Structure 1
């Protein structure tokens, strides 16, 4: 993994314009120019110290295959939110689980997070399954809690508590 950099913009655009990914993701972009909004979001997270995202790359080829990170970091509450996405051709290969373990270790050890949360659109079984494999617990469903494409959607809340404190 490596921090998201400007040269990743074409890969970020490719991922965040793919119907399979954006079906359950909060943002989408129809042009490379629009993707600059996402790149600015990554940059602003780091500047404000409220999060950080990394490119998921294959160790040997360094080929980009997705992104993972945290945002909504609150030092005073010792919590943050984790998020991720992966190109569909790499689904089911344990890549997010491997990257997730690294991020969780970093957050629990270096940032001293006590609670790590994940918000998953109801019906996104792949993300829910990955979170459960990472040890997250399902805490409940927030019914009609967000509007997406003009319709209310429900969101599942998962959390993982730091047991290495």
Structure 2
């Protein structure tokens, strides 16, 4: 189910509400984005201060304002605490494509929450945004994210060598894609 408030879409699943992240969520975000394991493949150093979290929230808001993406906070229905985020970035409306990203607080790993959240935004992307292609760029050692997107039907297209420079080094990334015609998440 999608609910639109102030142009930000709120998505609801069986267990989750995906909603806009605001400055009041900074402490929640700092909690999980300061964890080295959560940040291992995020492309940034673990957060050290509330200022880091507020800068991340500002980036989420700029995606929406610039129409280059949308980032949802993942919350459990019984709690309004942000336990992760997921969304689209580098959206190219001319070519009907975007990239997907997601992360989750370590205490919620292995419970199917990331999958449930990503399925909701895939459905939203294909049905509401009329996207044709959703990409996921994932570091080769990040096995759990690869397994998640593969279970959702993404196809690994190839390896992008030294594609990103993050945390002082170049990283290879696998390019995955899911096309609207292949999507099973309607």
Task: Give TM-score scaled by structure 2 length.
Answer: 0.84
2:38 maps to 1:15? no
2:129 maps to 1:84? no
Give 1:160 deviation, angstroms. Answer: 0.3
How many residue pairs get aligned? The number is 165
Q: Conserved in 2, the CA contact under 8 Å of 1:120 and 1:127?
A: yes
Q: Conserved in 2, the CA contact under 8 Å of 1:118 and 1:159?
A: yes
2:145 maps to 1:127? yes
Match of 1:44, SS state, is helix
Task: Give TM-score scaled by structure 1 length.
Answer: 0.94
Give 1:121 deviation, angstroms. Answer: 1.3
2:173 maps to 1:138? no
Give 1:38 deviation, angstroms. Answer: 0.9
Give 1:48 deviation, angstroms. Answer: 0.7
Q: Which residue of 1 aligns with 2:77?
A: 59
Off by >3 Å, runs of 4+ in structure 1: none
Cα RMSD over matched residues?
1.5
Q: Provide, for residues 41-83 of structure 1, a one-character-per-residue CA deviation record: whole Å limited to 9, x for no partner.
A: 1111111111111111111223321111111111100000110
Q: Distance in 2 between matches of 1:30 and 1:79?
A: 33
Greater displacement, 117-126 / 8-17: 8-17
Q: Distance in 2 between matches of 1:87 and 1:150?
A: 24
Q: Distance in 2 between matches of 1:52 and 1:119?
A: 17
Q: Which residue of 2 aligns with 1:74?
A: 92
Q: Distance in 2 between matches of 1:58 and 1:150?
A: 35
Greater displacement, 29-38 / 114-123: 29-38
Residue 170 of structure 2, aligned match among 147, 152, 165:
152
Greater displacement, 143-152 / 73-82: 143-152
Gaps of 5+ in 2: 1-17
Q: Provide, for residues 101-148 of structure 1, a one-character-per-residue CA deviation record: whole Å limited to 9, x for no partner.
A: 110111001110000001111200011111111111111111222223
Give 1:152 deviation, angstroms. Answer: 2.2
Match of 1:35, SS state, is helix
Give 1:11 deviation, angstroms. Answer: 1.4
2:117 maps to 1:106? no
Gaps of 5+ in 1: none
Q: Distance in 2 between matches of 1:146 and 1:73?
A: 18
